[in-house]
């Protein structure tokens, strides 16, 4: 619960007796080197080229489920949230892609898209189409987030959330608290509004109809990863909400009952128009307090394999309330334990839809960012940090010049976007970042994003086992590069290590 709460291409290939080693200082083009821009398949390349669309999943022995592309490679998606605090621009999407990110989470508003029952606002829809068009152009995937905060505009939620015409509060009182906006969820009027949304047949039908019509409008975009079906769901709390036991019981009842029923309706609603997209369900925000979700499993009516995922948020309550993070509090450990059992039981990929402190400039919060990035390596197929914007504080992940904000640098590190193998992990070793995975023996290419923020003067790449072919694309300036690694002669199960040393 929180106070809500950013050119010279080089191609080299070399091997040694122990490891393949490629060195790429910026601005140096060795004899015979050629640009790689036209050599990689479109879905091989991150950022400004093309993020691969996930077509399936693979589940490891430990129960973790990962996204895979059409070639069977394991995917990692990373990016940022957009379009809540300020209207997204083409420059936002272009800059995000140039940094090597492959995903945006776009907050959309039912009240803005359907201000009157039965009429989609064509200007708002065209604006959303433009955002997805930019994602198409710059090669990133887009997750459409049906966003709400404290239900909707009737209760100070700005222009996000459920429309006034779909708000029924039974005339009950509502008093806003500017110092604690989240407390609005416990106001009688807001509680009543959620109860009606979950229970009233006409509201349920109208909401489902809206999802179907929007999915029909957006389904042509190749960048459309899918939908986060309901942001930070909440519901009735019978009793004292300051009592953790009462709140946990209310959350469990919601997830097992009303919320589960809503997700079933919305999955069916989207599938009436779109069988390609991925559909993600969110637990209540109590997962951030280490409370495991009680959501049931869901069935995907699309033909072929299911395309369902789990999209929890990753926030520390004390940090969101203004404290500097205390690693002794056990937040990361408790969250990790709480968030992993549900997707393992139902074979769902995890995409963390929101995470990050209000500001990473303090020592504890800077450590929290490092710990969160490392923790998500262990359980998430992807994440979108909150929030892509420039500023001198708050949630902005960029400073005024567009560089990583102080403390947020770990979010701008290298990562594998498509791996010919399983269990990819990136660690920040003393010598430099290291990417490891287990080869599938297919000889397909693994692609690693090399953000310029992490390697401003170039990178040296070392690969084990021997015999690796390494193609390095390291543009000059502030654009991400890529390392494309192929191991044609490995057996399935061979450990692979790629060490990335800044020049």
38-42, 79-83, 282-286: least confident range: 38-42
pLDDT mean over 323-337: 97
pLDDT mean over 332-360: 97
In a domain, 258, yes or no: yes
User: 465-498: per-residue pLDDT in tens?
Assistant: 988 999 999 887 888 999 999 998 889 999 999 9
- Which one of 375, 393, 412 terminates a domain? 412
Give SS3 for 198.
Answer: helix
In a domain, 437, yes or no: yes
pTM of the model: 0.91
Q: Are residues 11 and 136 in the same domain?
A: no
User: 213-233: per-residue pLDDT in tens?
Assistant: 999 999 999 999 999 999 999
Measured CA distances, 339 to 282, 367, 420, 445 (Å): 11, 21, 27, 31
In a domain, 1, yes or no: no
- Which one of 377, 412, 447 terminates a domain? 412
Percent of residues, the chain, with pLDDT higher than 70: 90
Q: Are residues 320 and 263 in the same domain?
A: yes
Q: Are residues 421 and 436 in the same domain?
A: yes
| Strand 432-439 to 495-502 pairing | antiparallel
pLDDT value for 441: 94
Q: Cα–Cα distance between 341 and 372 in angstroms, integer?
A: 18
In a domain, 2, yes or no: no
Q: Are residues 41 and 91 in the same domain?
A: no
DSSP secondary structure of 255-294: HHTHHHHHHHHHHHHHHTT-SSSEEEE---GGGGGT----
Q: Are residues 392 and 244 in the same domain?
A: yes
Q: Are residues 172 and 187 in the same domain?
A: yes
Q: Are residues 382 and 429 in the same domain?
A: no
Q: Are residues 352 and 420 in the same domain?
A: no
- Which one of 355, 388, 412 terminates a domain? 412
User: 81-118: per-residue pLDDT in tens?
Assistant: 999 988 999 999 999 999 999 999 999 999 999 999 99
- List the domain range (segments joined by +) for residue 354: 76-412
DSSP secondary structure of 314-327: E--HHHHTTPPP-G
Q: Are residues 292 and 331 in the same domain?
A: yes
> CATH number for the domain including 244?
3.20.20.80
User: 424-479: per-residue pLDDT in tens?
Assistant: 999 987 778 999 999 999 999 999 999 999 998 899 999 999 889 999 998 878 88
In a domain, 309, yes or no: yes
DSSP secondary structure of 349-408: -BEE-EE--S---SHHHHHHHHHHHHHHHHH-SEEEES---B-SSTT-SB-TTSSBPTT-
pLDDT mean over 171-194: 93
In a domain, 308, yes or no: yes
Q: Are residues 364 and 398 in the same domain?
A: yes
Mean pLDDT of the chain: 89
Q: Number of C-alpha atoms within 13 angstroms, CB side, residue 71?
A: 19
In a domain, 423, yes or no: yes
Tally of domains within the chain: 2
Q: Are residues 369 and 430 in the same domain?
A: no
pLDDT value for 376: 98
Q: Are residues 255 and 354 in the same domain?
A: yes
In a domain, 305, yes or no: yes
Q: Is a pLDDT exceeding 90 seen at residue 368?
A: yes
């Amino acid at each position: 619960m929180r106070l809500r709460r950013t050119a010279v291409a080089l191609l080299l290939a070399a091997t040694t007796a122990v490891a393949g080693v490629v060195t790429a200082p910026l601005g140096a083009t060795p004899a015979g080197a050629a640009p790689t821009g036209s050599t990689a398949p479109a879905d091989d390349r991150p950022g400004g080229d093309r993020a691969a669309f996930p077509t399936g999943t693979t589940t490891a022995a430990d129960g973790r489920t990962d996204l895979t592309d059409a070639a069977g490679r394991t995917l990692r998606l990373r990016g940022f949230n957009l379009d809540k605090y300020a209207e997204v621009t083409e420059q936002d999407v272009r800059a995000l892609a140039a940094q090597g990110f492959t995903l945006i989470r776009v907050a959309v508003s039912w009240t803005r898209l359907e201000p009157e029952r039965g009429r989609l606002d064509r200007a708002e829809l065209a604006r959303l189409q433009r955002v997805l068009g930019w994602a198409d152009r710059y090669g990133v995937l887009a997750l459409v987030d049906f966003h709400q905060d404290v239900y909707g505009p009737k209760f100070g939620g700005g222009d996000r959330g459920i429309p006034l015409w779909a708000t029924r509060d039974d005339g009950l009182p509502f008093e806003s608290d500017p110092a604690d906006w989240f407390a609005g969820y416990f106001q009688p009027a807001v509680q009543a509004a959620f109860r009606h949304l979950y229970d009233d047949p006409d509201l349920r039908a109208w909401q489902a109809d809206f999802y179907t019509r929007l999915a029909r409008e957006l389904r042509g975009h190749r960048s459309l990863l899918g939908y986060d079906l309901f942001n930070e769901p909440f519901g009735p709390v019978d009793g004292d909400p300051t009592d953790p036991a009462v709140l946990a019981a209310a959350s469990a009842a919601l997830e097992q009952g009303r919320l589960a029923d809503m997700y079933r309706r919305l999955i069916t609603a989207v599938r009436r128009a779109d069988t390609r997209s991925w559909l993600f369900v969110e637990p209540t925000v109590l997962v951030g307090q280490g409370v495991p979700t009680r959501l049931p499993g869901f069935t995907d009516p699309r033909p072929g394999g299911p395309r369902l995922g789990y999209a929890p948020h990753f926030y520390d309550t004390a940090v969101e309330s203004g404290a500097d993070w205390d690693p002794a509090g056990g937040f990361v450990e408790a969250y990790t334990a709480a968030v992993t059992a549900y997707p393992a039981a139902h074979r769902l990929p995890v995409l963390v839809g929101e995470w990050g402190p209000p500001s990473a400039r303090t020592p504890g919060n800077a450590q929290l960012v490092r710990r969160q990035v490392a923790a998500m390596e262990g359980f998430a197929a992807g994440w979108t940090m909150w929030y892509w914007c420039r500023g001198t504080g708050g949630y902005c992940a960029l400073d005024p010049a567009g560089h990583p904000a102080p403390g947020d640098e770990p979010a701008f590190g290298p990562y594998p976007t498509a791996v010919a193998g399983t269990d990819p992990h990136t660690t920040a070793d003393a010598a430099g970042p290291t990417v490891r995975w287990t080869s599938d023996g297919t000889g397909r290419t693994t692609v690693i994003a090399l953000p310029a923020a992490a390697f401003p003067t170039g990178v040296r790449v070392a690969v084990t086992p021997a015999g690796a072919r390494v193609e390095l694309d390291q543009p000059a300036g502030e654009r991400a590069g890529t390392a494309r690694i192929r191991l044609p002669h490995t057996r399935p199960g061979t450990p692979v290590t790629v060490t990335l040393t800044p020049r």
